[in-house]
Amino acid sequence: MLRPTDFWRSLLPLAVVAGLSCGLGQVATAQVAPQYRVPYPNRYQLPPAAVQPRAVAHAPTVPDPSGPELLAPAQSPPTSPRLQPIPNPQSLQIREVPAATFCQGEYIGPHRDRHLPVYRLRVDDQLAFVYRIDRVESKAPYELNVGDQITIESLTDESLSRTLIVQPDGKITVRLIGQVQAAGRTITELRDDLEERYKKFNKVPSITITPVTVNTKLEDLRSAVDNRFGQGGQSRPATVSPDGTVQLPAIGNVQAQGLTLSELRREVNARYADIVIGMEITPVLVQRAPRFVYVLGEVRQPGQITLSGPTTVMQAISMAQGWNVGAGLQRIVIFRRTEDWRLIATQLDLRQALWGRQPCPGGEIWLRDSDVVLVPKSDLLLTTDTINLLFTRGLYGIFPFGNAPSFSRASTL
C-alpha cells in the first residue's frame, strides 16, 4: 500500500525538472527576445548633433518622440503591424526618458525646443521699424546738405559776416562773390574756397565758417517717423506686401520676404547710410501673418483652422470637433504646396491611434501653413451612399412601389 508521504516524494523530482525547464525557457526567451523600433514623425528641432544626451532614469524605457527608439527586451513585443523588427539593433542608440516625464503634468509644461531655428519673414507679417539717433562719432568729415545753416565771419571785414542757409540748388549767396557751391563740401573746403576768392578784395580775409544747423536730412527723417505725440517713440509700422517688400520713408521699397530680422536690419541701415548719417533702424516683428489649415471630409465641423502654434494631424481633427462615424481614418490625405507652389500629397493611417490601439503613430506629423487635411469616407460608408443613391433615390424615385401588396394585411384575412 502506497502511503501519502511516498506519493509526494515521488512527485518531487518531476517538480524540480519542470522548474529547471521553465527557468531555462525564460532565460532563452530573454536572450532572443526581438527588439522593436517605433517610427516617429519629424518635428521642429535642432540638428541631431546639437541635441544633448538625456539622463538615464531607473525606470522602464519609454520611447521618446524625438526619433527612432528601442523598447526594452523585457517588454512584450508590440502587436501593431507598424512595428517592425530591427535587423541590427546594435547600430541604434538607446535613449531613456526620465520617469518624471510621465508623472503628474504641469499646465505650463517644459520649455521644449524652438519651433524654428530661424524665422524668415513672409507676406502679411506686421513690422515696426524703430528709429534711433545713435550719437556715434563719424570718421568721415561732415559734408553740408541742403537746408543746413552756417555763419560766415571775417576778422578783417565785418561787412562780410552773415548767416546763410544752403539753398535747394546746393549753393549759398555771399557778398562780393555771389553764388558759391556749398552742398557736398566740408566746412574746411568751403572756407578755403572763400579765402581764395576774397583775396581779390583783401590780402588777409581771415574767413571763419561756423555750422549752426546741420544734418537736416536726419531731422527731416525724424519728422517723418516721429510718434512722440501719438503712440510714442520714433517708429514706423509696415506690413510685408504681396510682392515681398516693405515701404519706408526716404528709401522706398525694401525686400523683406525670406529675410530674417537681422538680415533686414543690415539691409535697411545700409540703405539709410547712403542718405543720412547718425540714425540706427531696428525692425521688430509685431504680429505674424495668419496661418491656416483646412480640414474637410468626415469631420463634425469642417472648415478653416488657425495655426496658433505647432499643430499635428490629430490636433487638427480634434479642433474640427472629431471625426464622424464611418470615417476612413486609415486613409487620411494631406495636400501641401511646396516653396515653388507645386502640389504634393501623402496618405496617413491614424485609425489605430484614434481608436486607442497604437500610442505612438507614425502618421502623426506636423502640419504646415495652408495644408489641406482630407478625412475620407470608409468603404462601408461609400457602399451605403451608393445603395442610397442608386436604389432609394434612383430606382424608387423612377418606379413607384407604393402600390405593392402588403403581406401584413394579407395575414389578417
For 201-249, the pLDDT digits (tens) are 888 888 999 999 888 888 888 887 877 665 656 888 999 999 999 999 9
pLDDT at 391: 76
Burial of 92 (C-beta count, 10 Å sphere; 0-12/13-18/19+): middle
Amino acid at 75: Q
* CA atoms 40, 43, 48, 54: torsion sign: negative
Helix (H) or strand (E) holding 7: helix 4-32
Cα R_g (the chain), whole angstroms? 41
126-137+218-287 shares its CATH topology with 292-380: no
pLDDT at 255: 95
pLDDT at 100: 64
For the chain, the structural domain boundaries read: 33-117, 126-137+218-287, 149-214, 292-380
pTM of the predicted model as reported, rounded to 2 decimal places: 0.61
Distance CA 61, CA 390 (A): 55
Residues of the chain with confidence (pLDDT) below 50: 2, 16-18, 20-84, 86, 407-413
pLDDT at 92: 52
Distance CA 167, CA 225 (A): 24
The β-bridge relationship of strands 126-133 and 149-154 is: unpaired
Q: Is 195 left (phi over 0), alpha (psi -120 to 50) or beta?
A: alpha
Indicate the CATH number of 292-380 among 3.40.50.970, 3.40.50.300, 3.10.560.10, 2.60.60.20.
3.10.560.10
pLDDT at 110: 74
Helix (H) or strand (E) holding 253: strand 252-255
CATH 3.30.1490.20 for domain 126-137+218-287, yes or no, is no
**CATH T-level assignment (fold) for domain 149-214:** wza like fold (3.30.1950)
pLDDT at 112: 77
